[in-house]
């Protein structure tokens, strides 16, 4: 799915949203287009013609609540692991507990990873050491105010770089 960078009115990056949500925000006059898609894509309806956005900015300031710990959700976990299976590198569809819950593992950032269905079923309720598998990196809690932008610099539009550089420097 095509993603669009969402900025606060102060040009601070908030998150990425799907193209459909971005167009709804623009047409609902809640946001305005800052940069159009570099490919020149145009969206058509019966009466409206709109250049596909790459970066949009809200028209009103949104206060971002401070959270000491990022909540563990499926979407956030997939974003952290870049939608790739940590075991084989293919597209991830499920969440796997490194230490299975049946063996006392917790449902926490440090014990959950993105996994493809094949690897998840193959691992079942065993430890990765029993299978001879290893993790490329230790699962950790995402930190910072802009944790939703993890990986955005890698897989996002080049026009996002100027806005994302401000968050990594902060």
State residue 41's pLDDT score.
87
Q: Is 136 among the domain residues?
A: no
Q: Tell me: do 7 and 59 sit in the same domain.
A: yes
Q: Tell me: do 96 and 149 sit in the same domain.
A: no
Q: Tell me: do 62 and 80 sit in the same domain.
A: no
Q: Is 60 among the domain residues?
A: yes
Q: Tell me: do 60 and 84 sit in the same domain.
A: no
Length of the chain: 170
State residue 147's pLDDT score.
65
Query: What sign results for the dihedral spanned by CA atoms 102, 108, 112, 114?
Result: positive
Specify the number of domains making up the chain: 2
Q: What is the CA radius of gyration of the chain?
A: 19
H-assigned helices in 42-91: 74-80
Angstrom CA distances, 101 to 80, 105, 155, stand at: 21, 4, 33
Is the pLDDT at 8 greater than 70? The verdict is yes
Q: Tell me: do 90 and 125 sit in the same domain.
A: yes
Q: Is 21 helix (H, G, I), strand (E, B) or coil?
A: helix
Q: Tell me: do 50 and 92 sit in the same domain.
A: no
Q: Tell me: do 124 and 162 sit in the same domain.
A: no
Closest residue by Cα to residue 75 from 27, 116, 114, 24: 114
Domain range for 92:
74-131
**Summary mean pLDDT of the chain:** 87
Q: Tell me: do 43 and 81 sit in the same domain.
A: no
pLDDT tens-digit map of 18-43: 899 999 999 999 999 999 988 888 99
Tell me, what CATH number does 127's domain have?
1.10.30.50
CA distance 164 to 142: 16
- Here the tokens at position 63 are 């206060």
- Give the confidence band of 11 by pLDDT, cuts at 50, 70, 90: very high
Q: Is 118 among the domain residues?
A: yes
State residue 145's pLDDT score.
59
Q: Is 39 helix (H, G, I), strand (E, B) or coil?
A: coil
State residue 117's pLDDT score.
96
What is the pLDDT averaged over residues 46-58?
92
- Here the tokens at position 42 are 């145009």
State residue 90's pLDDT score.
96
What is the pLDDT averaged over residues 57-66?
89
Which residues are paired to 112 by β-bridges?
Answer: 97
Query: What sign results for the dihedral spanned by CA atoms 88, 94, 98, 99?
Result: negative
Q: Is 81 among the domain residues?
A: yes
CA distance 34 to 113: 35
Q: Is 61 among the domain residues?
A: yes
Q: Tell me: do 7 and 61 sit in the same domain.
A: yes
pLDDT tens-digit map of 114-165: 999 999 999 999 999 999 999 999 999 887 656 666 556 556 678 888 887 7
Q: Is 20 among the domain residues?
A: yes
Is the pLDDT at 169 greater than 60? The verdict is no
């Amino acid at each position: 799915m095509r993603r669009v960078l969402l900025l606060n009115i102060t040009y601070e990056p908030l998150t990425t949203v799907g193209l459909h949500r971005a167009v709804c925000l623009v047409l609902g006059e809640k946001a305005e287009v800052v940069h159009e898609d570099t490919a020149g894509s145009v969206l058509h309806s019966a009466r409206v013609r709109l250049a596909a956005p790459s970066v949009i900015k809200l028209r009103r300031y949104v206060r971002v609540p401070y959270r000491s710990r990022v909540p563990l959700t499926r979407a956030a976990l997939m974003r952290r692991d870049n939608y790739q299976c940590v075991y084989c590198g293919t597209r991830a569809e499920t969440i796997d507990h490194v230490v299975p819950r049946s063996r006392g593992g917790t449902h926490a950032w440090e014990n959950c990873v993105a996994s493809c269905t094949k690897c998840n079923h193959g691992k079942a309720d065993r430890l990765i050491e029993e299978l001879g598998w290893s993790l490329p990196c230790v699962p950790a809690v995402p930190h910072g105010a802009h944790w939703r932008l993890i990986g955005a610099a890698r897989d996002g539009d080049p026009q996002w770089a100027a806005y994302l550089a401000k968050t990594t420097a902060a």
